[in-house]
Amino acid sequence: MLLKTVLIRLITTAVTLFGVAVVVFTLVRVAPGNPIAMMLPPGATEADIENLKALYGFDKSLPQQFVIWLGGVLQGDFGTSITLRQPVDQLVLGRLPATLELSLMALLIAVALGGIAAVIGARKRGSGTEVGVDLVSGAVLSIPDFLWGLVFVLIFGVLWPVLSISGRVDPRLDIDFTTNFYVFEGLLRGRFDVVGSTLAHMLMPAMSLALPLAAMIAQLLKQNLKEVLVQDYTTLARVRGFGETAVILREALRNAALPTLTLVGVQFTFLIGGTVIVERLFAYEGLGNMAIDAVINRDLPLIQGIVLLFAALFIVINLIVDLSYTLLNPRLRHG
Amino acid sequence: MTVTNHKTALDVIKLNIALPNGVRILRDVSLSLEPGEVRALVGESGAGKSMIGKAVLGILPGNLRVTEGEIILEGQHLNAMTPWTRRSTVAQTAALIPQDPLTALNPVRKIGPQIIDPLIRIHGWSADKAKARALDLLDRVHIRAPERVMNSYPHELSGGMRQRILIAAAFAPSPRLIVADEPTTALDVTVQKQILRLIRELQRETGTAVLFVTHDMGVVAKISQKVTVLFAGKVMEDATTREVFTNPQHPYTRALIAATPSYADLERPFSPVPASLISDLHQQIAQDDALYQGGSR
Amino acid sequence: MADTTLSAPRARRSGKLNLRLWLPLLWLGIVAAAAILAPLVAPHDPLEQDLMLERLPPFFIAGTEPGYWLGTDSLGRDVLSRMIYGARIALFVSLIAATVTCLFGSVLGLVAGYFGGWWDRVISRLVDIWMAFPPVLFAVLLVAVMGTGLGSVIAAIALIDWTRFARVIRAETMVQSRMDYVDSSRIGGARRVATLASEILPNVMPSIIALLMLEMGIAVIVEAILSFVNLSISSDDPTWGSMIAEGRNAIHFAWWVLLFPLIALFLTVLSFSTLGEGLKQRFDPVLQ
């Protein structure tokens, strides 16, 4: 039963990924502007251009190029970046940790802030505090991450400059890590200077990404908590002497959390999509920032690689969410 | 009113409960329970019988308020307490057997912790003692393999089993009073009998007083020593169960007994409570309400 | 009993609903007036550079020059005038782009939801593929492909965000199509497309209007983002996005170049989404 669901999901996933590959491939090739011309110094001959074209496979027909490219991708070969002259997979995987750490940090902040607001709103349901939670979350929700980023740049970068507004880590730090997971590896190696600096740089972009999702979580979770808090088992818990906060945390939260979990899963992909512009805004050295450079420089192989990686990431996350939904609900698990 | 040294398990004195717009749900209800006594609280749906138990336990629906009256649990005046003391007093002395076993257990938590947690966290028992107590009580409500049941989720168990678990959980902290809020209504007839017998057994062994809310005169006869008959939030009759069945004083009580198939006179056909009686009673209550001034402050 | 519990929150909501409609309308009215009357109300030429007057602070800070209320940017251009002219582009993009997106997405959503079958399968798969792209990256890529300019920005917004409409409208259309009145209308001989227009469209309209309002706010943001990465229209043109980009670069010297357009963007986006919620509540027959 579970296996069948997973199998169907995997097949549709493959179809979607193939579609994404087709769209990206077509899109970057109808783009005006000749990437080859941009690579060569002025005064290069026709023959030079032809040579380079052959080198990157641009001399073949589009369908041929697609087949060659897809064949490479399936073997883990994403081609070579035109501007950076390095294998795309190395470049992309080198930047992925930065984006992943940022996204996870943002997710953590969103869940924490949203969860706390929801619990407070549910605890004080019917009072002015709840109205306050509603109003604030409603307003926060409608402002996208880009604007929050700018607000933070202005407040903590300029008016009250306590945080760095660009980069991922203090460049003066000597970092000889084997991976680019500065936070995780820093923790493992006990390099807390690196961890601290990375977190300080990450805080504002992560907050920008987190706020709209936090507001969404606050609204949905509060609503579901209120629905659960009229259930008989919560009444019974009150009779047994548990206070309202204990009832919310011990009895209601897990029952109310399932819809929120789905929301978080779906929205997490949007959050990761948001890293593209937020990384740009904070000059954070992640995938998104690299992607915009790649687009501006018409670096076709790199664009393809990054977009495909994002798409794969989105789809895998959706899959994980679906599975964890099943695992967290005992009724589904045994059913 | 002074509380004598002879402690009753529960005293409810002239309790009034009203909606925000002043409409009363309970009208000057008084009743009392001696320790170890079972009192049935009987009436048709909408009579407000569940509200008495809820008021005692402090779980009235959000829009209902106690406007007047006293609730004295084991000699302690609940109305005079802060919410916090009231809650812990109730938790220490009273327990609830809920109506619907299907919704009264948390679906995402295992059975064991749901029984044991309050014993540890509210009553301050050790984990071992709490677990032993839970196993003992599950055994006494005839749950086979209690260890395995404690490790199950509610949806893995039948409705009757869940109600037995809820009974065990109610008796676990040795409360002085149990409010049983129509505990058999949601169950089928064969299971009903079993559950009634269980409550009776445990109540006798432990000497716990039980306020048994029901609409079924048949159940009343099986379980209680005393009966309070309620109509539209007003006490119609308060007597021993024997008196109520042999010599009912109030016409409504008689009608209620007549409406219960097994107690109706076999020669006469089964008869519902006559509409004329109901409208007479409503008229009477409306007149009383017109004179009532309390709770309007 | 039911009456008392229900009437209290509803009365409170209708009291707030008015403010929720009027405050956003007030702000959007100001923006619209600024856009239409730009040549009349702008104190300076938005493109006029004067290096003698660069980075003048706004009026409440010492060292300002009279007439430059919100200061000037690094090239000595008046911030207030650029914001007023920027309102033109912001409103133009939001109206046109949101309308195009709405038409495109709603039609696909209605078709998928109403006709079902292969229509639905193809459109839904297309939505899935589209949702697998990070939207900002997709927009940047599209504008890069189509070349910069207002037309590209509008096309990019429509090409990316149609999924938002398609998803919601498809789901609502499916629910509506299953209802009885549609069946009875169909038995009555009405043609399918006519049924779609006469029976279903009016019922999904509140959602379309709410989404349209939301989309207007989003369009303003997307334009700003594209300006920010220097891909919207030429960077000299006064758009809120390009001002923000300039302000971000000069942030340590002239924070006001960032602050004022940011406030304008903030209020505009908030107004559109609040208005959308308010209108949805007002038009929703169920909530009435």
Q: What are the 10-residue block averages of pLDDT along chain C, 288 residues in total?
A: 37 55 90 88 77 74 72 80 90 94 94 87 88 87 83 91 92 80 60 76 87 92 88 74 85 84 92 85 61
Q: Give the pLDDT of residue C158.
A: 93
Which chains would you list as touching C if contact means 3+ CB atom pairs under 8 Å? Answer: A, B
Using the CB atoms, write b or e for C110-138: b if 16+ within 10 Å: bbbbbbeeeebeebbebbbbbbbbbbbbb
Is residue C280 within 8 Å of C207, Cβ to Cβ?
A: yes
Indicate if the pLDDT at residue B210 is higher than 80: yes
Percentage of residues in chain A having pLDDT higher than 70: 92
Indicate if the pLDDT at residue B1 is higher than 50: no
Residues in chain C within 8 Å Cβ distance of A313: none
Q: Domain containing B67: what range? A: 10-103+177-282
- CATH of residue C133's domain is 1.10.3720.10
Give me the residue spans of the domains in chain A.
1-88, 97-332
Taking the CA of residue B47 and the nearest CA in chain C, the distance in Å comes to 15
Distance, in Å, from the CA atom of C233 to the CA atom of C187, rounded to the nearest integer, reads 53
Residues in chain A within 8 Å Cβ distance of B90: 239, 241
Taking the CA of residue B285 and the nearest CA in chain A, the distance in Å comes to 32
Taking the CA of residue C260 and the nearest CA in chain B, the distance in Å comes to 47
Residues in chain C: 288
Tell me, letter by letter, the H, E, C secondary structure of chain C: CHHHHHHHHHHHHHHHHHHHHHHHHHHHHHHHHHHHCHHHHCCCCCCCCCHHHCCCCCCCCCCCCCCCCCCECCCCCEHHHHHHHHHHHHHHHHHHHHHHHHHHHHHHHHHHHHHCHHHHHHHHHHHHHHHCCCHHHHHHHHHHHHCCCHHHHHHHHHHHHHHHHHHHHHHHHHHHHCCHHHHHHHHCCCCHHHHHHHHHHHHHHHHHHHHHHHHHHHHHHHHHHHHHCCCCCCCCCCCHHHHHHHHHHCCCCCCHHHHHHHHHHHHHHHHHHHHHHHHHHHHCCCCC
Q: Give the pLDDT of residue C238.
A: 84
With CB atoms and an 8 Å threshold, state whether A329 touches B108: yes
For the segment B258-282, the average pLDDT, to the nearest whole number, is: 70
At A180, the pLDDT band (50, 70, 90 cuts) reads confident
Domain membership flag for residue C158 = yes
- CATH of residue B61's domain is 3.40.50.300
With CB atoms and an 8 Å threshold, state whether B122 touches A241: yes
Compare CB distances from A233 to B62, B103, B155 and report the shortest one's residue.
Answer: B103
For the segment A163-182, the average pLDDT, to the nearest whole number, is: 85
Q: How many A/B residue pairs have CB atoms within 8 Å?
A: 67
Taking the CA of residue A189 and the nearest CA in chain C, the distance in Å comes to 33
At A104, the pLDDT band (50, 70, 90 cuts) reads very high
Nearest CA in chain B to C1: B19
Domain membership flag for residue B5 = no
Distance, in Å, from the CA atom of B143 to the CA atom of C52, rounded to the nearest integer, reads 91
For the segment A265-275, the average pLDDT, to the nearest whole number, is: 90
CA angle B136/B137/B141 to nearest 5° reads 120
For the segment A73-80, the average pLDDT, to the nearest whole number, is: 82
Query: Domain A97-332 class?
Result: mainly alpha
Q: Give the pLDDT of residue C268.
A: 94
Indicate if the pLDDT at residue A263 is higher than 90: no
Q: Give the pLDDT of residue B188.
A: 82
User: What is the domain count for chain C?
Assistant: 1
Indicate if the pLDDT at residue A31 is higher than 80: no
What ipTM does this complex have? Answer: 0.87
Poorest-pLDDT segment among A95-99, B118-122, B123-127, C247-251: C247-251
Taking the CA of residue C287 and the nearest CA in chain B, the distance in Å comes to 23
Q: Give the pLDDT of residue C8.
A: 39
Give how far the C-alpha of residue A285 lies from the chain's centroid of Cα atoms, to the nearest Å.
14
Distance, in Å, from the CA atom of A67 to the CA atom of A73, rounded to the nearest integer, reads 10
Q: What H or E segment, with its residue span, contains residue B180?
A: strand B177-181
At A209, the pLDDT band (50, 70, 90 cuts) reads very high
Indicate if the pLDDT at residue B126 is higher than 90: yes
Indicate if the pLDDT at residue A242 is higher than 90: yes
Q: Give the pLDDT of residue B17.
A: 92
With CB atoms and an 8 Å threshold, state whether B100 touches A232: yes
Bigger pLDDT: A63 or A36? A63
SS3 B16: strand
User: What is the domain count for chain B?
Assistant: 1
pLDDT mean across residues, chain B: 87
Q: Give the pLDDT of residue A3.
A: 74
Indicate if the pLDDT at residue B270 is higher than 70: no
The phi-psi region of residue A167 (left if phi > 0; otherwise alpha if psi is between -120 and 50; otherwise beta) is left
Bigger pLDDT: A185 or A326? A185
For the segment A4-24, the average pLDDT, to the nearest whole number, is: 81
Q: Give the pLDDT of residue C114.
A: 86
SS3 A314: helix
Bigger pLDDT: A316 or A306? A306
Residues in chain A within 8 Å Cβ distance of B100: 232
Q: Domain containing C143: what range? A: 87-287
Bigger pLDDT: B65 or C252? B65
Q: Give the pLDDT of residue C32.
A: 92
Q: How many B/C residue pairs have CB atoms within 8 Å?
A: 8
Domain membership flag for residue C256 = yes
**Whether A239 contacts chain B with CB within 8 A:** yes
